[in-house]
Structure formats: structure tokens, C-alpha cells
């Protein structure tokens, strides 16, 4: 799982049928210092995360298990909102 910051929401009305009713959020991957760590991705949200939240997300086929119908494809899903992040100073 990786850390990310929700930067926006993606509204899509014309999409594959299995995405119907799913909330799609724009996520900027960040590292432990909250610096950008890759290109933004679109992830399915099932826990009502909002813009600005620091979240953690899972990718690959695993992500689709958060959706009711197992055979429902998605490759990135938000798993939770971070309340506190403790990082031991590296240097």
C-alpha cells in the first residue's frame, strides 16, 4: 500500500457499466515526507475520503476486492484515511 493525497474528484458519466455508482478520486502519490512520489492516479473510494485527505491506497487486482461484486474490475482503491503519520528521522 502507498500513501497519497486526494487532490480532486473525477466525474465520469460515460464509463464501463461496472463503474456505475463508484466514486472516483484523483490521488497524488506521496512518500513518507509527503513529497510527490509519482504521477497522479484515479482510485475508487469506498470510505468517503475528501480532497486534501492523506490516505493510503492499494493497487493491482487486490483493489477490486473492496467492491461488492468480486468480479468488478478496478486496479486502485483507497483503503483508509491517515489520522497520524509517525516517521523516524532517517538522517
Partner 1 sequence: MILGKVIGNVVSTISAPGYESKKLLLIQPIDPDGKPKGKSFLAVDAVQAGVGDFVITLDEGNSARSILKEPNSLTIKLVVAGIVDEISL
Sites of contact with partner 1 (CB under 8 A): 1-3, 31-32, 37, 46-48, 56, 58, 60-66, 70, 77-88, 90
Q: Comparing C-alpha atoms, which of 57, 60, 61 is closest to residue 77? A: 57
CB of 61 to partner 1, least distance (A): 8
Q: Which is nearer to partner 1, 42 or 81 (CB)?
A: 81
CB of 57 to partner 1, least distance (A): 9
Question: CB of 48 within 8 A of CB of 25?
Answer: no
- How far apart are alpha carbons 80 and 91 in whole angstroms? 29
Amino acid at each position: 500500500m502507498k500513501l497519497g493525497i486526494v487532490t480532486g474528484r473525477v466525474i465520469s458519466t460515460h464509463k464501463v457499466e461496472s463503474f456505475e455508482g463508484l466514486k472516483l478520486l484523483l490521488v497524488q502519490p506521496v512518500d513518507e515526507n509527503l513529497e510527490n512520489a509519482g504521477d497522479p492516479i484515479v482510485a475508487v473510494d469506498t470510505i468517503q475520503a475528501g480532497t486534501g485527505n492523506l490516505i493510503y491506497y492499494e493497487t493491482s487486482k487486490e483493489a477490486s476486492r473492496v467492491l461488492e461484486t468480486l468480479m468488478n474490475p478496478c486496479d486502485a482503491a483507497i483503503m483508509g484515511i491517515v489520522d497520524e503519520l509517525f516517521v523516524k528521522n532517517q538522517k
